[in-house]
């Protein structure tokens, strides 16, 4: 009953106009990069570092929202690609967004679906303007652009949203990784321009994504250029995808050196 009351009280009052996203560092370890932070959103506060249970299709497998809440989780992840295909944006809009659809009173981060799309190498085509792919459900053809992904995020109503990016496979040659990284930067610029035109309310935060594969020079370029766009936070994508751990740590450190310390960092994997 307490959880039901919480769901009703929070979801009935949403959106909470005027409450903005923020991140603050509470404590830092002087001997490492470890730190404790606090993410504040319109739907609650999340202490970091934090692990996000994956609710790809609006549910965490084998768990109810109440069970997740009782275990102490306040932040979960949803997936634009899967939710766009099923149940679809019309259903989501009628439900009033992802929180209402799944009865989750906490914070939700939605990723762009980029990893899912790019992993479907046999049924997708990558262009500078976006990525075209076939549905794994019925074979229909769809196009994700930076602008369309933002529109999907808006319908879902997540608290933190990731922009469209290209995640390269491991291993990938330097030349192709460079091309993909700069395409991601181009999409980041388009995303930022589109967000400015929309004049969105402050409840939804947008994170840029740093790419560059296992190449430190590309990670540095990606981080510096993405940070210049001044997103609310930054994801580090395309790591922990099969590369040796020592390589992962090297390129991770190269990216972290360029992210402002007052911004949230999301290690995407």
Cβ atoms of residues 2 and 243 within 8 Å: no
Q: Which of 214, 215, 225, 146 is nearest to 185 (CA)?
A: 225
Alpha-carbon separation of residue 200 from 15, 68, 83, 162 (angstroms)? 13, 30, 22, 15
Cβ atoms of residues 130 and 145 within 8 Å: yes
β-pair partners for 44: 41
Per-residue pLDDT of the chain (269 residues; tens, 9 = 90+): 578 777 766 665 455 545 689 999 999 999 999 999 999 998 899 999 999 999 999 999 999 999 999 999 999 999 999 999 999 999 999 999 999 999 999 999 999 987 887 788 888 999 999 999 999 999 999 999 999 999 999 999 999 999 999 999 999 999 999 999 999 999 999 999 999 999 876 789 999 999 999 999 999 999 999 999 999 999 999 999 999 999 999 999 999 999 999 999 999 96
Which pTM was predicted? 0.94
**84 exposure class (CB count in 10 Å sphere: 0-12, 13-18, 19+):** buried
Average pLDDT, the chain: 92
CATH class for the domain made up of 2-210: alpha beta
User: Any idea where the domains of the chain sit in the sequence?
Assistant: 2-210
How far is it, in rounded angstroms, from Cα 103 to Cα 60? 12
Three-state DSSP class for 207? Answer: strand
């Amino acid at each position: 009953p307490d959880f039901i009351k919480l769901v009703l009280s929070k979801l009935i009052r949403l959106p909470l106009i005027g409450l903005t996203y923020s991140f603050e560092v509470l404590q830092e370890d002087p001997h490492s990069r470890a730190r404790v932070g606090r993410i504040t959103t319109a739907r609650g506060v999340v202490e970091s570092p934090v692990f996000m249970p994956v609710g790809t299709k609006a549910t965490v497998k084998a768990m109810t929202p109440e069970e997740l809440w009782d275990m102490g989780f306040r932040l979960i992840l949803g997936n634009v690609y899967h939710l766009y295909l099923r149940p679809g944006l019309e259903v989501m809009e009628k439900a009033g967004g992802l929180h209402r659809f799944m009865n989750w009173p906490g914070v939700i981060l939605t990723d762009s679906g980029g990893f899912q799309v790019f992993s479907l190498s046999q049924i997708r085509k990558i262009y500078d303007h976006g990525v075209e792919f076939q549905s794994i459900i019925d074979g229909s053809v769809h196009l994700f652009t930076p602008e369309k992904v933002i529109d999907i995020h808006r319908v879902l109503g997540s608290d933190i949203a990731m922009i469209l990016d290209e995640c390269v496979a491991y291993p990938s040659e330097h030349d192709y990784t460079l091309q993909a990284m700069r395409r991601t930067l181009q999409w980041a610029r388009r995303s930022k321009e589109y967000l400015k035109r929309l004049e969105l309310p402050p409840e939804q935060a947008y994170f840029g994504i740093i790419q560059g594969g296992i190449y430190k020079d590309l990670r540095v370029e990606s981080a510096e250029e993405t940070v210049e766009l001044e997103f609310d936070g930054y994801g580090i994508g395309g790591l922990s995808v099969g590369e040796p751990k020592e390589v992962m740590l090297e390129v991770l450190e190269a990216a972290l050196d360029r992210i402002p310390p007052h911004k949230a960092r999301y290690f995407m994997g």
